[in-house]
Structure 1
Amino acid sequence: MKQLFTVLVALLIGLCCQVPATAQSTATLRGTVADSLSGLPVAGVSVGLQGQPGGTATDALGQFRLSGLAPGTYSLRVGALGYRAQTVPVALAAGETRSFQLTTAATTLNLSEVTVSQPRDPNQSLAAISHIDQVLRPLNSAQDLLRLVPGLFIAQHAGGGKAEQIFLRGFDCDHGTDFAVSIDGLPVNMVSHAHGQGYADFHFVIPETVEQLKVYKGPYTARFGDFATAGAGEFTTKTRLDHSQVKLEVGQFDTRRALVMLDLLGQNHHLLSKRPESAYVAAEYYFTNSYFDAKQHFKRFNGIAKYTGQLSERTSLTLMGSHFTSNWDASGQIPERGVENGYISRYGSIDPSEGGRTGRTNASIVLTTALPHDAVLRQQAYYSKYDFSLFSNFTFFQRDSINGDEIEQTDDRHLFGYTATYDRDDQLGAHQLHSTLGVGTRNDFSNLGLYRAVQRRILGTTTQGRLFEQNINAYLDETLTLTDRLTVNAAVRADFFTFDFRGQLANEENGGALEPLRGRVSHARISPKLNLYYQLTPAVQLFARSGFGFHSNDARGVIRDANANVLPRAIGSEVGSTFKPVPSLVVNAALWSLHLQDELVYVGDEGVTESTGPTQRYGVDLALRYQLSRRVFLDGDFNYNHGRQIDAPENANYIPLAPTFTSIGGLTYKAPKGLSGSLRYRHIDSRPANDDGSIQARGYFLFDAVLSYTTPRFQIGATAENLLNVQWNQAQFATQTRLLSPVRESPEGVDELHFTPGTPFYAKLNASIFF
């Protein structure tokens, strides 16, 4: 297998280095596509010839090129979801190169115009599905953004301020251990985080500013490295606003939200400026006491400023800055026995002193330059300042019957990074070759701490110290069109990690005395990928994908244990199809498997690394999007997952909390103005919460509804979550805990299901003014 990857990648590198040999008798079409309102280039627009297989898509600067065309008369087809499709007649002579400057205008969604091929980014087989969801599904929070990923479920268990627990493809990804998240090229996942490896707090994103989501399931894409085993989600904020907006929301449980989005340059600025440019600012304030018995006092502020402009015909610049801060109280997870015996209510708390605060400030600069020979160079430098303090109590009085088991986790971090990609299109005789060379580095500097506490007062130190973690990476990705129907994508990625921690660790065998924990370790990982795509018909694309990936261990775990598996490898494969059985129905189906070398988790609550050894998962994903009429849409995601620990005994080989069946769907009425509405459901079935299945995490089935009325000047709306007021468990864990009331339990405690109750019926109203 490795030899096949090596030979194929070497072959494509050799082909890339050859001089393109296009016959003199063929012609070339090239041009740019820009937004008709802003004048800014539009990336990802599908470009092809009517009635002909193949095609291409615009790059980051809105540029496209079609080469090797026989002389003749054609109709150039240009289209993208959410933009009006158009055709342009073209007559080409032998050896001629024709250039076009095209504009495209936004329009209402029409699934009959959706294409199932992805010529520039074939690994994003869910592109059509994701684009449709972005238009149709209502967004009210950063959590809703994560739910746009087909098959992804989330659970919140700390008053709304903590990163969500993520479930995807049979993985309990914890807070991001096996799902990579980014926004505008900024990594969201935190390495060697105070609470958990890969911690992905997405609350610093304002949902109304997000323009696009790209979903990649499995470890098949070279652009992603650490954490991208179950998949990856790339979010992009808007380059411009369609209008300025003020929005107010009020809801049950003292919920209030205010949003302001301001277009700084005006809609017609591009008509007066020599170069297209846009700039906007947005700010959000949110407060809620939530539905728990103890008020949560959750406060959050978000702000973002973004500028996008054309410095020249060949260069664009994007500047972005954002700031986020929040603080909250939390009721925490509670034991079933505490509710059953009446000690607390379903929405009560054992230790109401839980909660925390967190903040993040980001800055990013992106420079995109068109180079000779149809190449594009994109460079990004970014910085994040991150702060985190979390008080939790998961075992109550298991360790300390006097003060309780509360802990504080702290993270004071500076994150610096740089990425660069060189994209180039070549014509190799009759074959098109798209090459991407990427390099990058990420550098984390943090002061980490884990402390024993009571009522948010520090009692002692479990571990603390200074972290330095660096990742240097490079990848080569080649997409070669072998025929009009068959495309091969081969890639290889190299990652080099340095883990450095200088601090102290409490030795429990020595009365908790602090001892040095210091070290520096380096490891590397090579990850090859091989993917095949076959365009059976214009409405049916088949794919077969395979690849190696990994997730990293926490630096403290690496240095503490010399035999630790630092970068456990993931090996994945899948076969499937994206197809349209009828013009208004888009279907994506995949049969997949994934082997993980080590189900490795750093438990920040205890400062230790837990390993359950290798695991094997397989499953089936099915996503359907159907347009019943011009304004009525039906969607559904159905995901079956089966996973087991390989080395564990047969009667104790379950993967705790791994979902087995999930489904999300709904019916939407979408109109450009006037009344719109959506009725949605989400379901996850019961699954084992521990190795032997003796404790079960309980499944649920919920309905939500959204209604809005829109005019060019204003919008009013209402949202209702959990319409049927179902009692359901959100986050769930099998945990051994000890209670002192109403009956003092034995020192060993009780091992049972603990949970955070899900939202009861919850209604919100909102009103927006556009200007």
Structure 2
Amino acid sequence: MKYYLYLLFTLLPLLGSSQNIEGVVYAGGVPLQDVSVKNSRTEMATSTNSNGGFTFSDIQTGDQLIFSYIGYETKTVVVNSQNINGQLSVVLIRSDISLTEIQINKDLNTLEKIVAIDVQNNPVRSSQEILRRVPGLFIGQHAGGGKAEQIFLRGFDVDHGTDVAINVDGIPVNQVSHAHGQGYSDLHFVIPETIEAIEFGKGPYYTNQGNFNTAGYVGFRTSKRINQNSVSLEYGGFDSFRTVGQFKLLDTQKSSAYVATSYYITDGPFESSQNFNRFNILGKYNYKIRKDEELTLTLFRFTSKWDASGQIPQRAVDQGLISRFGAIDDTEGGQTSRTNVLIEHERFLTDSQKLTSRAFYSQYDFELFSNFTFFLEDPINGDQIRQFEDRNTYGFQTVLSDKFYNGNTGFAYDAGIGLRYDNVDDIQLSRTANRKELLERLAFGDVDETNFYSFVNTEFEFGDFKLNSGLRLDYFKFDYVDNLVEEYETLSEDKFTFSPKLNLIYTPTDRLQLFAKTGIGFHSNDTRVVVANQGKDILPSAYGADLGSVFKVTDKLVFNAALWYLFLEQEFVYVGDAGIVEPSGKTRRTGVDLGLRYEPLPWLYFYGDATYTYARAIDEPDGEDLIPLAPDFTVTGGVNVQNFNNFSGGINYRFLGDRPANEDNSIVAEGYFVTDANINYTYKNYTFGLIVENLFDVEWKETQFATESRLRNEAQPVEEIHFTPGTPFFLRARVSATF
């Protein structure tokens, strides 16, 4: 009996020593979200919520808790009895992001953290640069700077967004059934300086990403609050001027508010002035209702107008009819605007269970004048077309999430529902002359498209493994009213699609992650295509698989690699420029992604990414199975200097190899190698900088298409490369101040 009593009293202190601990992480007096918290004894890890709070189980006196967050110094706290009885308060100090801070863990998108260093060392300074921050993603502009960029990723010519899902603060950017093309994604409403984080993933492996997530997705998160006011002025070649201001309106423990605005004008390098102008404004208000509940209101507004010289035929330049920066029809151009209203609500139902909701409204209008074929269809008036739409988009999403941990095992889930409704009035394609005279309406109608979706995403952690599985359900309703027919009729189709995902991550150490990802995504078709084809092949699926690794070789060297495959089912594509339905068959793409980051010194940083892709149409004969404009080989990289005796800057390059412009490679789109540079000097609260695009003034073609066209005096049409010239040497000076 004495023996059992002795054993009981001996074990009681031990049993009582394993307890829970709660705490909050701050930075500059503000709670910090997504801070990694790890117990060095148990190797269990969690992260802070939007209120900076965290809860840990299985805690003992003497445990070491390691707090780490990108851009802040890592801090270690030793747990004592007072911490366990009370609430732990941890303050992190801001520092430059360094590769030494990066810990490889079981995150599905570890590469996001590494790319955050790229962004710090080479901040985004223009709307065109935003998407270029995603490794392996290329863009091209071919309409005077006002139109959405053409996108290339993983062997896809994504056009303006058909196979990459893009969002800003959860607001979808891709426009369904757009007047210019399906998935049209205009990011110019974003002020680059307000971007706090870039989220991305390649392939169709993400349950919370729906329509257009085949080649991948990109998400941008704007800052919830700003630390200080700032103003910048920028002036350079081609009479380019840009100014940006960010101003705190409110900053208390319970609420904060700021406004940011930007104005940009330029004539561009073309012989006919672009007369480009764009105005942006962003306002954000954040209110902490209570300790575990928060409300955020965000407003965006942007408007833009421009003239364009358009794409030009290679023969016109070769024959000396025009220069590389000349035009066949310089009456092209357009105007567009967008207003977004976003309300976000977050509430913790328990210490770990969270309910996140958002609702948004977007008003958007678009008008574009183009001429791709010159005098092919109309030898008298020319082939100018007008594309127009007036759109209202409504949407909401609610997600319930929770996490459970027990020793070295854990379970987390996200379950969400959402709705998106697009009402597009007077969407039209017309033949016009000189932007003023209406010659003929080719298409004119009203589109109503509804997408209801739900998803469940689960994560099981056991030891060094994480199994991520999920299922997504999407329902689409397509309605179209053709205003060119006499009798009123609503043409309607609907469709369900299921998208399962399964990913396995193995992290044996904090320096190595191995992953295998599989999933099915989809890309919806234009409503006008759907009703024209009686609902056939309207939600073609994409089947993807990735096998790869992220390896932190040393504290200063990180390497990543992935072997991937993507199969896309047959689809019908609405070609907005021509007003026709164009079918395409099944395609497959196989490729390799490689990336390297090296930081030999605290102020010196090298990075590089390369992608090789083998892309083919499946049902076409050999030699005629190439996918037009699909990039085969791309490389991006550079070297950046940060905070070296008050200097910062870098040299960055991008290489796009030659690629087929048509199915048999008889017409080739030439590749290019372009280098940009910037240098900045900071004195007190002022920063002075120089930005150079195309440092070596190479002649390059930013966008290219194999197009059949006819010039005014030609008897027969010619199919050849039509292109938009890339920007020549372009120098800008910049000064900014913080206060």
Place the TM-score, normalised by the shorter chain, in its bin. over 0.9
Q: Which residue of the partner structure matches residue 80 of structure 1?
A: 69
Is it true that 1:745 corresponds to 2:715 in the alignment?
yes
Is it true that 1:333 corresponds to 2:323 in the alignment?
no
SS at match of 1:651: coil
Which moves more between the two structures, 558-567 or 529-538? Answer: 558-567
Q: Which residue of the partner structure matches residue 277 of structure 1?
A: 255
Which moves more between the two structures, 133-142 or 725-734? Answer: 133-142
Q: Which residue of the partner structure matches residue 49 of structure 2?
A: 59
Q: Which residue of the partner structure matches residue 492 of structure 2?
A: 520
Q: What TM-score, normalized to structure 2?
A: 0.95
SS at match of 1:683: strand
**What is the alpha-carbon distance in structure 2 between the residues aligned to residue 133 and residue 424 of structure 1?**
31
**What is the alpha-carbon distance in structure 1 between the residues aligned to residue 432 and residue 548 of structure 2?**
51
**What is the alpha-carbon distance in structure 1 between the residues aligned to residue 409 and residue 581 of structure 2?**
49
Is it true that 1:452 corresponds to 2:431 in the alignment?
yes
Is it true that 1:32 corresponds to 2:24 in the alignment?
yes
Pick from 655, 674, 678: which aligns with 1:702? 674
**What is the alpha-carbon distance in structure 1 between the residues aligned to residue 54 and residue 596 of structure 2?**
30
Q: What TM-score, normalized to structure 1?
A: 0.91
Shift of 1:128: 1.9
Superposition pairs for residues 627-706 of structure 1, below 5 Å?
627-671=599-643, 674-706=646-678
Pick from 510, 533, 556: which aligns with 2:505? 533
Q: Which residue of the partner structure matches residue 4 of structure 1?
A: none
Shift of 1:276: 3.6
Deviations 1:524-575 (A, max 9, x none): 1100000011112111011111000000000011011115311010010101
Q: Which residue of the partner structure matches residue 398 of structure 2?
A: 420
**What is the alpha-carbon distance in structure 2 between the residues aligned to residue 709 and residue 124 of structure 1?**
34
**What is the alpha-carbon distance in structure 1 between the residues aligned to residue 489 and residue 694 of structure 2?**
48
SS at match of 1:350: coil
Contact 2:98 2:117 in 1 (8 A): no
Contact 2:343 2:360 in 1 (8 A): yes
Q: Which residue of the partner structure matches residue 603 of structure 1?
A: 575
Shift of 1:73: 2.5
Superposition pairs for residues 4-403 of structure 1, below 5 Å?
26-37=18-29, 39=30, 41-50=31-40, 52-67=42-57, 69=58, 71=60, 73-91=62-80, 99-118=87-106, 122-265=107-250, 269-270=251-252, 275-372=253-350, 374-403=352-381
Q: Which residue of the partner structure matches residue 736 of structure 1?
A: 708
Pick from 492, 497, 515: which aligns with 2:476? 497
Q: Which residue of the partner structure matches residue 12 of structure 1?
A: none
**What is the alpha-carbon distance in structure 2 between the residues aligned to residue 184 and residue 168 of structure 1?**
22
Counterpart residue identity of residue 96, structure 2:
T
Contact 2:603 2:644 in 1 (8 A): no
Q: Which residue of the partner structure matches residue 474 of structure 1?
A: 454
**What is the alpha-carbon distance in structure 1 between the residues aligned to residue 94 and residue 711 of structure 2?**
59
TM-aligned CA distance change 1:97 to 1:226, over 3 Å? farther
Contact 2:452 2:474 in 1 (8 A): yes
Shift of 1:71: 4.1
Q: Which residue of the partner structure matches residue 614 of structure 1?
A: 586
SS at match of 1:190: coil
Shift of 1:299: 0.5
Shift of 1:587: 2.0
Counterpart residue identity of residue 454, structure 1:
A
Deviations 1:281-340 (A, max 9, x none): 111110001001110100000001111231110111111111100000000001100100
Q: Which runs of 5+ in 2 are unaligned?
A: 1-14
Shift of 1:50: 2.6
Deviations 1:480-536 (A, max 9, x none): 1122x011000000000111111235xxxxxxx888774111101100000011112
TM-aligned CA distance change 1:174 to 1:621, over 3 Å? same
Is it true that 1:486 corresponds to 2:465 in the alignment?
yes
Q: Which runs of 5+ in 1 are unaligned?
A: 1-22, 506-512
Contact 1:417 1:442 in 2 (8 A): yes
Shift of 1:64: 2.6
Shift of 1:91: 4.4
TM-aligned CA distance change 1:500 to 1:486, over 3 Å? same
Contact 2:456 2:471 in 1 (8 A): yes
**What is the alpha-carbon distance in structure 1 between the residues aligned to residue 406 and residue 571 of structure 2?**
44
Pick from 509, 527, 549: which aligns with 2:521? 549
**What is the alpha-carbon distance in structure 2 between the residues aligned to residue 453 and residue 24 of structure 1?**
81
Shift of 1:467: 1.1
**What is the alpha-carbon distance in structure 1 between the residues aligned to residue 132 and residue 17 of structure 2?**
51
**What is the alpha-carbon distance in structure 1 between the residues aligned to residue 678 and residue 41 of structure 2?**
40
Shift of 1:651: 1.1
Counterpart residue identity of residue 180, structure 2:
H
Deviations 1:598-632 (A, max 9, x none): 25432111222322211000111112111120101
Shift of 1:166: 0.3
Q: Which residue of the partner structure matches residue 729 of structure 2?
A: 761
TM-aligned CA distance change 1:736 to 1:184, over 3 Å? same
Contact 2:446 2:483 in 1 (8 A): no
Shift of 1:35: 2.5
Counterpart residue identity of residue 62, structure 2:
T
Which moves more between the two structures, 429-438 or 327-336? Answer: 429-438
TM-aligned CA distance change 1:557 to 1:97, over 3 Å? farther
What count of residue pairs does the alignment treat as equivalent? 723
**What is the alpha-carbon distance in structure 1 between the residues aligned to residue 735 and residue 545 of structure 2?**
46
Shift of 1:111: 1.2
**What is the alpha-carbon distance in structure 2 between the residues aligned to residue 51 and residue 335 of structure 1?**
67
Shift of 1:372: 2.0
SS at match of 2:159: coil
Counterpart residue identity of residue 544, structure 2:
G
**What is the alpha-carbon distance in structure 1 between the residues aligned to residue 646 and residue 610 of structure 2?**
32
**What is the alpha-carbon distance in structure 1 between the residues aligned to residue 683 and residue 196 of structure 2?**
21
Contact 2:652 2:676 in 1 (8 A): yes
Q: RMSD of aligned C-alpha atoms? A: 1.9
Pick from 531, 551, 557: which aligns with 1:585? 557
